[in-house]
Structure 1
């Protein structure tokens, strides 16, 4: 077998090592355009878990690496006048130059051929190769020469950064946040060998411009930053090595293989430096490619296997990096926060670390974050214990005069089980059981304000006395048998109306004979085969607004604690807000202020009819997931407008505006939008979307990213989700009907024991340290 590797970075070298070790007869050649010891930057970083992987695949290079690494267990955060140290992280740093030399030495020992200062003009240079590995970096010539095949996307992030070093010793991975007259500067720092540390300096484009850094030389910018971080550097200098300011490129490729060619490392995918995973990603690419080659009978099969199996893991790492880099891009959003909440946000920004596993690593730090949360609750006028507080998800919240006992919410979910708009016994059991299951707040499904406002024939409504009586029965049951509050979500389907039941075809149009006339902001059908809605005129607007007000008056009679106006998911009022669906040329179209006009008219009329002491919320789609549609910044403008009109809460969802949307899914994938609205529009938010556990809820709340947590599918699977979570966290004062209290007490006893056992197992399963000093002492 003949393998040609273009690029002598960690990805190319490590793959060559693994393959030569497994197949000594293979001819493997590495071609590197630079000299053997050329490298920019200073240090690289790996976690203990990553080193454990390296140990498994090549113990010799693993031992060489670990003998040259600097180790630390803590992450240190310096923000304003506060400092925090969070232990239990297990990281190590090494000089990038040292890492390359060690890998070169191991490759040479195994018989890998290496050519330095060897510029490869193209893959055509290797017509006899069985496999060509393009590990030629961020600016990959191979990738760029075949763009039409690989279809790369390069997202140049807005923040500016530079990679410097220092003689400043550090005993932790340390974040410094420094406010100056120009703006905020961030230093990501860690020691990689005695007397040497890496300093990645980052700032937003406005601060970069205001400070005039673009006009500075490499040395001048280092001198400037020495002044910014003079206290932190403590007399030490900043070192430069091609330390140019640049924007980070987030690189993805639609394809990563072509014939017998495969992209590897930064040529294939990048991960932001804020999670320290760039070199890790590259070397794990090498491992995955090696596994595919060893597992499959031919190179073609191996590359197909690599393409299929590696993508998911890379996307997970890139998603974590994306979330992390966005946090740093918007650090000004959090600058008002108290220090411990800010630091908790730093630790949990990428979603890889959560409340529970952080509590295992740093119980005192999590206890401080929990106390800080409870102190804010107490400052809002609620009587809570701040010395020994319960976890954030079981802290109360007040909206106007409504107080919920915990932050868990049964998300509004259409059940498509009403008959002519009438809630059935199904609805009584559905809402009643989840209320008795301990949720602080229960939302109804979108309840339609008229027969023609329905999405489907199975949608619930509130336009008749009979429907009002059915809803009153449900509200009375919730109030009588639980401690939950109940919110009525009111909406109008707009152009998505007259559709089939979800399980018969989501958003697909009913047969013409069964359909009813539909309305929207503009005459645009949802699907090409869908009914074309009528673009609303003034008379339609007045009639629909009157329907909403009439439903509000009925909601008062039913005894609902709260109401929500549905302005999301492409329904009627959402169709006014989004430029994708609003193509009007009158005063209700065009600018965002005009597009807000009619939804605000409806909200104002509802707020005037609804009791002043009861809260109202608005559900929005914070992004359409479509180019040219609503963005997160737009959603802040929308939220502020509703807040000024009297909204108390923004229920933050996304998308579903058009079939053309391309959402980016993942754990808690909509929470970032709730975070942005809460911290920029200064209004309480409810996070929803792939939140599945109480641990995630506590993480979001303690980081100040939302105020309520809505869970849909978890509540469908387990009506007693909140009660079980109370047991997990030892919250004994959660309400339970007297008939169910023996079960509650048993749950609390069993859950406490199970939680302690789980904690013990997690502590035992903590990855072993790869610090040679610790291992030698242990042995």
Structure 2
């Protein structure tokens, strides 16, 4: 089969890897409009469920991703006028560029052709492909060429947000809320290398305008935000990639869904097919799981139309609960002023339970683990669970991953 992937993000590269593993005879080309090694993202986050899937599908790339990732062992919540509180849980983060480099290297090893600086504008330019995979992002040009057929629907969120980076390395995943004369503004921050953290800032549009952020360019906006979050940044700067090209990166979140995901031999994948709010940190995970499902679907003996229909049904079913959770999460952040007067422990629990899923005992556990002793025990228990889960992963021994027994968990470690 001749396959062309339009877009060299995690979805396209990982699908190329899996399709080649399923059948080395496939002729697979990935077209990426950016130069090699260039990406405009910062760090991505994921959890054990994605690692489980990655080791199941390709232990080689999974081991490389696992080794390159950072791990945090809890969540920290800071807010003006409140004591610092903590939320149980752990996760992993990895630079987007590092992830793309790992996946691209693996694809090339398997015989995939990657063409950089190749910005396809018409589907006819994809050549005589049997399958064209449109994984060119939320503003997909391929999807837009058949917009009426795919039936894209976009719901625009109220809040303003911007993805930034900083050389201040946070100890763990941190939420920080600052009260200003124009209203509340907050960030989601997490480390993803030894010297860099992602720093996502969000606020209501009234606050955004009241702080003058609507009239500042990238450098000026970063300087204003550095003043607001000075107590959180340890004297380190904030960086907006767009500072070098003009403009600014402020956006409103766009929740994208499509009525249909395939059109003839063209199929949507990743953000071209769906988006979920960044507050649940699942964009990369869902894109790579799309790749897994599509690779499974096309590896059988069914006609392509049947395979693509099966892929769409499988992924829409899996996405539905996460999309509901993401919507509830984004709406919670649009109502931040309704919660900020709560005492510190109640406020952080409301943040943790923004999807409304937790039983009462979770609140009791949250309160009990705000002191150092119980919190340390809980982190150790989670570290032990993580170790046992990692040991059960398929292909772990073949990938030569060294997994040591859990000790007292560090605040930030390499995975």
Task: Give the alignment's TM-score, normalised by structure 2.
Answer: 0.87
1:27-83: CA deviation from partner (whole Å, max 9, x where unpaired)? 000001111212112100011221111111111111111111111120111123221
Shift of 1:366: 4.0
The answer as to whether partners of 1:17 and 1:107 remain within 8 angstroms in 2 is yes
- 2:35 and 2:360 map into 1 onto residues whose CA distance is 46
> Is 1:310 matched up with 2:315?
yes
Shift of 1:347: 0.7
Shift of 1:262: 0.6
Shift of 1:127: 5.2
Give the corresponding residue for 1:266: 271
Give the corresponding residue for 1:342: 347
Give the corresponding residue for 2:138: 138
- 2:357 and 2:72 map into 1 onto residues whose CA distance is 19
- 2:320 and 2:221 map into 1 onto residues whose CA distance is 34
Q: What SS is found at the alignment partner of 1:249?
A: strand
Give the corresponding residue for 1:10: 10
Q: Which aligned pairs between 1:565-584 and structure 2 lie closer than 5 A?
A: none
Give the corresponding residue for 2:66: 66
Give the corresponding residue for 1:102: 102
Q: What SS is found at the alignment partner of 1:108?
A: helix
- 2:369 and 2:93 map into 1 onto residues whose CA distance is 29
Shift of 1:143: 0.9
Give the corresponding residue for 1:247: 252
The answer as to whether partners of 1:192 and 1:198 remain within 8 angstroms in 2 is yes
> Is 1:56 matched up with 2:56?
yes
Shift of 1:296: 4.6
The answer as to whether partners of 2:63 and 2:401 remain within 8 angstroms in 1 is no
Unpaired runs of 5+ residues, structure 1, are 370-759
Give the corresponding residue for 2:86: 85
- 2:55 and 2:41 map into 1 onto residues whose CA distance is 25
- 2:11 and 2:290 map into 1 onto residues whose CA distance is 7
- 2:59 and 2:77 map into 1 onto residues whose CA distance is 34
CA 1:312 to 1:297, structure 2 compared with 1: closer, same or farther past 3 Å? same
Q: Which deviates more, 232-241 or 125-134?
A: 125-134
The answer as to whether partners of 1:4 and 1:133 remain within 8 angstroms in 2 is yes
Q: Which aligned pairs between 1:434-583 and structure 2 lie closer than 5 A?
A: none
Q: What SS is found at the alignment partner of 1:28?
A: strand
Q: What SS is found at the alignment partner of 2:68?
A: coil
1:122-150: CA deviation from partner (whole Å, max 9, x where unpaired)? 22223521111000101100111111100
The answer as to whether partners of 2:387 and 2:406 remain within 8 angstroms in 1 is no
- 2:401 and 2:106 map into 1 onto residues whose CA distance is 23
- 1:296 and 1:91 map into 2 onto residues whose CA distance is 38
Q: 1:330 aligns with which of 331, 335, 342?
A: 335
Bigger relative contact order (CA 8 A; separation at least 6): 2
Q: 1:775 aligns with which of 390, 398, 403?
A: 403
1:233-275: CA deviation from partner (whole Å, max 9, x where unpaired)? 1211112213611111110001111111110011110111111
The answer as to whether partners of 1:143 and 1:150 remain within 8 angstroms in 2 is yes
- 1:764 and 1:98 map into 2 onto residues whose CA distance is 27
- 2:92 and 2:232 map into 1 onto residues whose CA distance is 21
- 1:774 and 1:331 map into 2 onto residues whose CA distance is 43
Shift of 1:310: 1.2
Shift of 1:778: 5.9
- 2:282 and 2:358 map into 1 onto residues whose CA distance is 15
Q: 1:276 aligns with which of 270, 273, 281?
A: 281
- 1:354 and 1:188 map into 2 onto residues whose CA distance is 25
Give the corresponding residue for 1:365: 366
Give the corresponding residue for 1:578: none
Q: Give the strand-richer structure, 1 or 2.
A: 2
CA 1:211 to 1:70, structure 2 compared with 1: closer, same or farther past 3 Å? same
> Is 1:232 matched up with 2:237?
no
1:280-323: CA deviation from partner (whole Å, max 9, x where unpaired)? 11111111111111245221111010121211111221111111
- Cα RMSD of the aligned pairs, angstroms, is 2.4
Max Rg structure: 1
Shift of 1:184: 0.7
1:545-565: CA deviation from partner (whole Å, max 9, x where unpaired)? xxxxxxxxxxxxxxxxxxxxx
Q: What SS is found at the alignment partner of 2:223?
A: helix
Shift of 1:334: 1.0
- 2:38 and 2:84 map into 1 onto residues whose CA distance is 37
- 1:217 and 1:131 map into 2 onto residues whose CA distance is 42
The answer as to whether partners of 1:90 and 1:769 remain within 8 angstroms in 2 is no
The answer as to whether partners of 1:265 and 1:283 remain within 8 angstroms in 2 is yes
CA 1:352 to 1:37, structure 2 compared with 1: closer, same or farther past 3 Å? farther
